[in-house]
A and B are shown apart, each in its own frame.
Chain A
């Protein structure tokens, strides 16, 4: 079909830019570092959730997980674009042409999909964290970060609801589903602690909530869900993960390889 006869449905740069909330703002170095951290969280989780398309237990869950992945990708676009204004890079350059040690995602977001129970358990923890984070960040003195957080928090509220609903159902379903969600929570729980650790960035940058200040509200929500599901809080030791400084688990490399291979193979390709 020639270009003349084909109905023109194209996504132009202009239309895509309109989806960005922070357009026109230039981030400071600290704002950029912070945006990379929470943007990489969402980017890596979005990439992982995409795997479920066509593989979820039902078509309806394919769509639910796919929708969540797309929401997260939107958040990541906004945050990486904002970070890029300080670094002189586009969001695509940041997503596709940084190497593993340059990523700032926390280990929880890199944990594998596992079975459906694992994906739900990981989603429960990530969404509970992101909900409290974005709720507080929406009040930030940084207009760039506050704008992105205010837009994202509504979607994250839905992600959290999805994870809570499924946690309750898996816990209250069959012996098999209950043992799987229990195991999944035990496997993901150690990665919570990293999300609540303050570091040198938070000593000098007060436009973002301190990670340590998020611990109590996040844990309260998680404990409520566990109580309703009649599950015990996992008693696990804490992971020493340090993704915020570029030290990653073995899982991140393969995720990045799959995500970046096409863009690196064809650097100037467009679609």
Chain B
């Protein structure tokens, strides 16, 4: 990666931002931003995504480090569970006489 600003026209790398709204909740993807490095990415995330008191914790992840599913293979990836109701717990009837279930 070139030093940010070295040529004057390159873009800062992209970072994905995850914010946890309060204790006990998970970090949720809030959006993305540009920053020259991880320290500045965290500060930019604070300014962009938590200035109205939205969060108690922030993660920033280099967008280039995230492996994503391919939008083109949606069918192979996500349509297989259709019709396979037995994968849900509610598909099954509770057996009689079983306590604590």
- Most A CB within 10 A of own CB, among B37, B40, B47: B47
Describe A's contact surface by its main secondary structure: helix
In the complex, the answer to whether B5 meets A165 with C-beta atoms within 8 Å is: no
In the complex, the answer to whether A165 meets B43 with C-beta atoms within 8 Å is: yes
In the complex, the answer to whether A177 meets B5 with C-beta atoms within 8 Å is: yes
A162 near B: Cβ within 8 Å?
Answer: yes
Chain B interface category by residue count: 10 to 19
B40 — nearest CB in chain A belongs to which residue? Answer: A165
In the complex, the answer to whether B6 meets A174 with C-beta atoms within 8 Å is: yes
Bound-state CA distance A165–B39 (Å) is 8
Measured CB to CB, the closest approach of chain B to A2, in angstroms, equals: 29
Bound-state CA distance A162–B47 (Å) is 11
In the complex, the answer to whether A169 meets B36 with C-beta atoms within 8 Å is: yes
- Most B CB within 10 A of own CB, among A58, A63, A161: A58
In the complex, the answer to whether B3 meets A174 with C-beta atoms within 8 Å is: yes
In the complex, the answer to whether B44 meets A64 with C-beta atoms within 8 Å is: yes
Q: What number of residue pairs across chains A and B have CB atoms under 8 A from each other?
A: 36
In the complex, the answer to whether A169 meets B47 with C-beta atoms within 8 Å is: no
Bound-state CA distance A48–B14 (Å) is 29
A61 — nearest CB in chain B belongs to which residue? Answer: B44
CB contact under 8 A between A60 and B35, given known A67-B51, A169-B40: yes
A174 — nearest CB in chain B belongs to which residue? Answer: B6
A60 — nearest CB in chain B belongs to which residue? Answer: B44
Contacts of B43 in A (CB 8 A): 64, 161-162, 165
Contacts of A176 in B (CB 8 A): 5
Contact of A67 among B5, B35, B47 (CB under 8 A): B47
- Most B CB within 10 A of own CB, among A58, A60, A63, A173: A60
Contact residues of A between 43 and 92, Cβ < 8 Å to B: 57-60, 63-64, 67
Q: Mark B28-70, 1 if CB is under 8 A from A, else 0.
A: 0000011111011001100110010000000000000000000
In the complex, the answer to whether B34 meets A63 with C-beta atoms within 8 Å is: no
Measured CB to CB, the closest approach of chain A to B11, in angstroms, equals: 9
Contact residues of A between 146 and 181, Cβ < 8 Å to B: 161-162, 165, 169, 173-174, 176-177
4 cross-chain pairs, A with B, having the tightest CB-CB distances, nearest first: A60-B44, A64-B47, A63-B47, A67-B47
| 8 pairs from A and B in contact (CB 8 Å cutoff) | A60-B12, A63-B44, A64-B44, A64-B47, A161-B43, A173-B3, A174-B5, A177-B5
Sample of 20 further A-B pairs with CB below 8 A, known A63-B44, A64-B43: A57-B5, A60-B12, A60-B33, A60-B34, A60-B35, A60-B44, A60-B47, A64-B44, A64-B47, A67-B47, A165-B39, A165-B40, A169-B37, A173-B3, A173-B4, A173-B5, A173-B6, A174-B3, A174-B5, A176-B5
